[in-house]
Amino acid sequence: MAKFDLSEYETVEQRLSRFWKAHPEGRVLTDLVFHDERRFIVKAEIYFDRDDMTPVASGYAEEIVGASPVNRTSALENGETSSIGRALANCGFASEGKRPSRSEMEKVERYKTEPRMPATKARVWTVDEEQKAGKAIQAATLSVSVDELKAIWEANKEVADLEINGMTLKSTVNQKKAEFDGE
């Protein structure tokens, strides 16, 4: 395998700095798209203007809990940073010929000596949990106040990530809260 020099790769912080200089009115959004007991998958979207409806680029990253010293305590945060670095690379904020960020290349080096553990199987939901999530999503959709929304969340947050007809309680509550906040 070819040897590479980590000093030739940019950090995500360096990419972000260049992005903000070029697009001070831009925005960077991240979203946790999957998690279980062992791993996180994070998506980042880059917008050149904060009012744009469509991102100019996106990027995904996966981090495994405990796969590195940083991931013992901060796998989610590490995944978020990596996804931003990939999204920035996808819209031109990467050095010529060095698309991966330094943290991605460090991961390559790490996995040479620490083999990657397989992710755990996806969570299997019970019929009762599916019914509870469906009712909670419906109640959240019909809620008329933030207090009512909070009560629905507190009573049902253990099924917040269960997807019913393309919706989750988490996404429904966030959308409804945004409506209440006037966004």
> CB count, 10 Å around CB of 166?
6
- Single out the residue of 164, 16, 180 nearest to residue 89, CA to CA: 16
Angle between helices 127-142 and 169-180 in degrees, nearest 10: 10
Domain of residue 46 covers: 9-113
pLDDT tens per residue, range 56-98: 999 999 988 887 777 788 889 989 998 999 999 999 888 665 5
Residues 109 and 150 in one domain: no
Residue that wins the pLDDT comparison between 162 and 97:
162
Residues 28 and 105 in one domain: yes
pLDDT at 34: 93
pLDDT at 48: 97
pLDDT at 50: 92
pLDDT at 18: 92
Token pair recorded at residue 40: 């996180």
- pLDDT average, residue stretch 14-24: 94
77 within a domain of the structure (yes/no): yes
- Single out the residue of 182, 173, 172, 132 nearest to residue 149, CA to CA: 173
119 within a domain of the structure (yes/no): no
Residues 133 and 109 in one domain: no
Torsion of the alpha carbons at 85, 88, 93 and 99, rounded to the nearest 10:
50
Hey, which residues does 42 pair with through a beta bridge? 32, 61
Number of domains comprising the chain:
2
* pLDDT at 29 exceeding the cut of 80: yes
Q: What is the value of pTM for the model shown?
A: 0.56
64 within a domain of the structure (yes/no): yes
Residues 40 and 107 in one domain: yes
